[in-house]
Amino acid sequence: MKWVVGLIAAGLYLCLQSHVNAEPRLSRTLIERAVMEAKATVDSAYEYSRRESIERVKRNLASPADVLRLMKQPVGRGRIAVRAADYMDNTLTLIKSSLGNRQKRSINATDLISEEDLQIIADLTGCSARHRVPSCKTTPNLDRFRTSSSVCNNRKNERMGSSNTPITRWLPAEYQDKISLPKGWDPRRRVNRRFLPLVREVSNKILHTTVVDSDPLYTYLLTFFAQWTDHDLSFTPHSPVIRSFSSGIDCDKSCDRTEPCFPVEIPRQDPRFGRNSEECIPFFRSAAGCGSGNTGHLFGAPTVRQQMNTLTAFVDVGQVYGSDEAKARLLRNLTSDKGLLKVNTEYNDNGRELLPFEKKSTNMCATRARITGDNNATEVPCFLAGDERSNENIALTSIHTLGLREHNRLARALAKLNPHWNGERIYQETRKIMGALFQILTYRDFLPRIVGPDAINKFLPTYPGYDEEVDPGISNVFATAAFRFGHLMIQPFMFRLDEKYTAHEKYPTVLLHKAFFTPWRVVFEGGLDPIVRGMVARKAKLTTQKHMLTDELRERLFKFTAELALDLGALNMQRGRDHGLPGYAKWREFCRLSVPRNRRDLRRVMQNRTLANSLMDLYRTPKNIDVWLGGASEPLVRGGRVGPLFACLIATQFQKIRQGDRLWWENTGVFTEDQRESLKKTSLARIICDNTGITKVPQQPLENQPRSRFTKCSDIPAIDLSPWKEDIN
């Protein structure tokens, strides 16, 4: 392999030399050789990473960093798009390096490459295909049903809001080199005339707590409904490689910063420093999409690095159905014409359906022996669902399973109501109803409890109707900062309760870090019911400025072995820098909130002198405060569970999602008036009753209630499906 790459490189060098003093256009041969070498480099790195991942998982040596990276891997069409972007980026890097050595006047990769040549490179690497505008004229039923990828939701701009497109930006990116390098890539460079603090140091001094305040109003289900909703809206994949393209360094074995490695440095005074010879926590940059950086103008995109969203921007329950056609078909039971989703064929939950298993060569859910210490314990694969993160914790897995069961329950009911419908019609109608149900639950029950009544009245009053000019695309600041507010609402435990809603004697409550990637707990330890009871009858963690992030997430994230665990707070801040997010003060200005410019201003905003002083001691200026940390540090708004900045950003995003969705449940012609009236009767309580063995639940499962006020399932109204009965004449 090395001699092939060497020959290509030599040929490319000679070809480039002959073009140094020629016209700006490059020869087709030169471009093809550059693309060939770039593909060889990328493919080699991908293959090395694949082999290493398989080997580590097979030998039970997967580290917490491996788990995070594997969970954030692009799959399906997303992986194809990421690989194409890597091909193009490496081709341009190769040409820039060779030409730049001869013409020092060049600064950017495209200075010496014409737009025509860039287009040829895009075509040869596959980047053009990623941005090709689809034809919506031949797609059937576009006015009735969503496409799997939500392409053609907007008939004027067919890709708007669809999966595998760049995340939108509400403010310009702030990269170190103005193009793609993260803020803090070179720690010796100042930002706003100040050095950025290490994110782990910030985590230690601001986020650390050993005390947990329980929420007096809301249940643990609110926390995991937030995660469930997040996984419907955004997934920004990591680069699939663990080895630097330029140097060949393994990112897991080095603290060097070299694409795509952006490790989290551990401060010397940190207790972790030097443990197992570790001086950093491995961190991989989010993958760039085609049309990022210097090539953005080719695709009508800004000329800076953009990250990808492999999910659709709509509340469409994509975490149940998938966000592209291939994934959607994989999840369907096509052995019968009944419109059902696949279920597990090996195990069930007291006769109720479980998610099917994944069929992969790597099984990062083989954690039972490591956690229990029983080397003879039976392992099971990860569950398969519409979103790749369904196994992250058993609460999230349980909500995914409820989604699967509710689809199949509705599909069977519709089949009885309309025996003449075929499987495709049943599937599409059920998926459409499911989308509407979760739109209602999200906007009616969930969001008001998060952003508070003031933000609801300002941003999300009565539905104004569809506007095709509104871009529903998920914004970078929402996905990377604001909608990560729920991390501060996570308890250090995963509660499991018996039929009396008391501590389960056989399947006790477990520490959070022992509930990560443990589908075997669902299969072998009582199924869904104990976990769901724990969510509806135990309190969420209350976000307070004094007690922010439990050490189960800050010190033991994905910790299955003695390997150095991850720090979720530090990862959030590092991710914001990776994405070039502007600092806290600029986002306050974006939301037309008061902008702190000094220590005194920050004290006023935070309403907390000690916290403001700590932030200023670390950052020296409010401009540099990482937006996730700044937003998470604010006092809560009236009636909500976030501060003013996150209330604004979250409400703004959901306003755009609703108004920019042509198939929103309230939009004229999507459902009949009778169907809309029936859909309004939906409730999380009814979904739990219909899909578990639980017989009494809170009528409002997101709100804390004494057990004496729980309602019998027989007294909770069900959705009337009769408006979907189709008369045959």
Q: Which residues are catalytic?
A: 231
Alpha helices for 497-643 (secondary structure H): 519-524, 529-537, 551-554, 568-578, 584-590, 599-606, 609-619, 627-633
Residue of 166, 198, 191, 188 lying closest to 176 (CA atoms): 191
What span, in angstroms and rounded, lies between the C-alpha atoms of 456 and 614? 32
Q: What is residue 248's DSSP assignment?
A: -
What span, in angstroms and rounded, lies between the C-alpha atoms of 57 and 52? 9
State the DSSP H helix or E strand holding residue 363, giving kind and residue range, or none if neither.
none
Q: Alpha-carbon dihedral of residues 252, 258, 264, 267, nearest 10 degrees?
A: 100
What span, in angstroms and rounded, lies between the C-alpha atoms of 389 and 683? 25
3-state secondary structure 656-682: HHHHCCCCCCCCECCECHHHHHHHCCC
The neighbouring-strand residues paired with 697 are: 711
Positive or negative torsion for Cα 330, 331, 337, 339: negative
To 10 degrees, what angle do helices 220-233 and 529-537 make? 110
Judge contact between 318 and 308, C-beta under 8 A. Answer: no
SS3 541: strand
Residue of 203, 515, 266 lying closest to 368 (CA atoms): 515
Q: Tell me how far CA of residue 454 lies from CA of 39, 413, 451, 579, 643, in angstroms.
A: 52, 40, 8, 30, 12
State the DSSP H helix or E strand holding residue 63, giving kind and residue range, or none if neither.
none
Q: Which residue has the tokens 């996150």?
A: 646
Q: Does the N-terminal peptide bond of residue 260 adopt cis geometry, omega within 30 degrees of 0?
A: yes
The neighbouring-strand residues paired with 284 are: 261
Q: What tokens appear for 630 in the block? A: 């700044």
Judge contact between 300 and 128, C-beta under 8 A. Answer: no
Q: Which residue has the tokens 């506007």?
A: 467
Positive or negative torsion for Cα 636, 638, 644, 647: positive
Cα 596 to chain centroid distance, Å, stands at 30
Q: Going by DSSP bridges, is the β-strand pair 711-712/696-697 parallel, antiparallel, or unpaired?
A: antiparallel
Q: Which residue has the tokens 């933000």?
A: 455
State the DSSP H helix or E strand holding residue 644, giving kind and residue range, or none if neither.
helix 644-659
Residue of 447, 651, 484 lying closest to 579 (CA atoms): 484
Residue 561 burial class via C-beta count within 10 angstroms: exposed 0-12, middle 13-18, buried 19 and up: middle
